[in-house]
Amino acid sequence: MNLAIKDIRHNLGRFVLTTFGISLLLMLVIGMGGIYRGLVEEATLLLDRIGADLWVVQKDTRGPFAEISRIPRSVEDRVLAVPGVESASSFISHTIQREYRGRPLRLTIQGLSWPADRGQWLPIFSGRTIGQAHYEMVADKSSDLNVGDRIPLGKNIYTVVGLTYKMSSTSGDSMAFLTLTDAQDVQFDLSNEAIRNEREARVNRLQSLDLGNVQPQLSDIVGGKSSGIPALGTSMVSAVIVHVKPGCNPSSVAAKIASWPDVSVYTHAGQSELLLRGMVDKARRQLGLFRVLLIMVSAVIMALILYTLTLDKLHDIAMLKLMGARNSVILALIMQQALLLGILGFFIANLIGNWLFPLFPRRVVIVQGDLMQLAVIVIAISILASLLGIVKALRVDPSEVLS
């Protein structure tokens, strides 16, 4: 006869409610760990998907994911001339927020270096990758966009031709992929009035110089498109991503590029380290601290619950002692109930979490290693929490049943 099972059957309703309450608490612990893992995964997601060996960014900046980086697109051609470089492509990234169908639409725009990069590496959920140089978009399904939607951005309308899955930025915004030229058009878009004012200002500056009086025909050029003025710089990109030839040492290639006075170079590991130690470091530490606090709170609550359950059974324990029951029988009664509470609570928490976590606005990544670690912690907490009730039970005087 198992006294723990008999006692649970006798107080089944209380045991079920207690187990459910513990499971909700443990679900929060699992969820906090999953949010922590999801934050780290989102931070390095695009880095890992692209898989570049080197990132060439603006001098003395930390790259496009940590801060603003602006370098001329012509750097791509210079990088291609470096011995050991297999391929180089421009990269651009920026965040926009628009109104679409009466709700905010927030996207992190990523520019693909068309036609070399058509987005074949993207995890396509439905639809296809980009098939032409302009006016097509691939968005993540978390944006609630659908294939065929037409999104006005700047002066153009872009058609969603494909949906990806699990492609979010470090801030949790859905990613959208355009060709590099389209991404630049969206980023540097100006209103018509702003363009007219800028052209007029250029003409006025020219006319204020002697050159404008000597060569008045230059006014027609200065008052035209920026791309038609040779004196203006080339278009800017956020970074140039580099793939090194097989067998070549990325560090030696990086050293050659880093010697240039206008750029900085980071390896894949270096860029990832900058992200984790800079942009998301405080959030990671805060989530980790909350997880530790939740585990401590769970231990205290379980100890109080088991102590209360023991107090309710003091009369029964005194009766067992009066009948000659050994201390080991009483110890097993409390210890088995504690383990059942912890183990059942853990499994119920995992089941509820698997149902709820996909509904969270940000990614929750549950790792089996974390679950196994938490299971061991729960068992240890159950054993330690039962000690308070065991000490109280062993001090019960059998004569108390007669009173």
Domain co-membership, 105 together with 173? yes
Cis peptide preceding 115, ω within 30 of 0: yes
Q: In the prediction, which pLDDT does 1 show?
A: 41
Q: In the prediction, which pLDDT does 139 show?
A: 92
3-class secondary-structure state, position 301: helix
Query: What's the pTM?
Result: 0.73
Is residue 112 within 8 A of residue 128, CB to CB? The reply is no
Task: Retrieve residue 149's tokens.
Answer: 């939607």
Q: How far is CA 112 from the centre of its chain?
A: 21
Q: In the prediction, which pLDDT does 178 show?
A: 92
* Domain C-terminal end among 233, 263, 291: 233
Domain co-membership, 144 together with 240? yes
Domain co-membership, 66 together with 15? no
Angstrom distances, CA of residue 109 to CA of 7, 48, 63, 152: 60, 17, 16, 14
The bridge status of strand 54-58 relative to strand 263-267 is antiparallel
Domain co-membership, 225 together with 182? no
- Spatial separation of the C-alpha atoms in residues 39 and 271, rounded to whole Å: 16
Domain co-membership, 104 together with 240? yes
Domain co-membership, 261 together with 355? no
Domain co-membership, 272 together with 131? yes
Quick count: other Cβ atoms within 10 Å of Cβ 321? 21
Q: In the prediction, which pLDDT does 158 show?
A: 93
Q: What angle do CA 387, 350, 290 make, to 5 degrees?
A: 70
Alpha helices in 2-150 (DSSP H): 3-10, 12-50, 75-80
Is residue 392 within 8 A of residue 307, CB to CB? The reply is yes
**Which residues sit opposite 266 in a β-bridge?**
55
What residue type is assigned to position 5 of the chain?
A: I
- Number of structural domains (the chain) is 3
Domain co-membership, 238 together with 294? no
Domain co-membership, 143 together with 264? yes
Q: Which pLDDT tens digits describe the chain residue by residue (403 residues)?
A: 455 566 667 667 777 888 888 888 888 888 888 888 888 887 778 888 888 889 898 888 877 777 778 888 888 888 888 888 888 888 888 888 888 888 888 898 888 888 888 888 888 888 899 988 889 999 998 888 899 899 998 888 999 999 998 888 777 788 899 998 888 888 887 777 776 777 677 667 766 766 556 666 566 565 656 655 555 556 778 888 898 988 888 888 888 898 888 888 888 888 887 777 766 777 778 888 888 888 888 778 877 777 777 666 666 666 666 666 676 677 777 777 778 888 888 899 999 988 888 888 778 888 888 888 888 888 888 887 777 777 766 676 666 655 5
Domain co-membership, 135 together with 247? yes
Residues of the domain holding 127: 45-191+234-279
Domain co-membership, 139 together with 264? yes
Is residue 267 within 8 A of residue 47, CB to CB? The reply is no
- Spatial separation of the C-alpha atoms in residues 29 and 35, rounded to whole Å: 10
Q: Pick the closest to residue 166 from 37, 62, 66 (CA basis).
A: 37
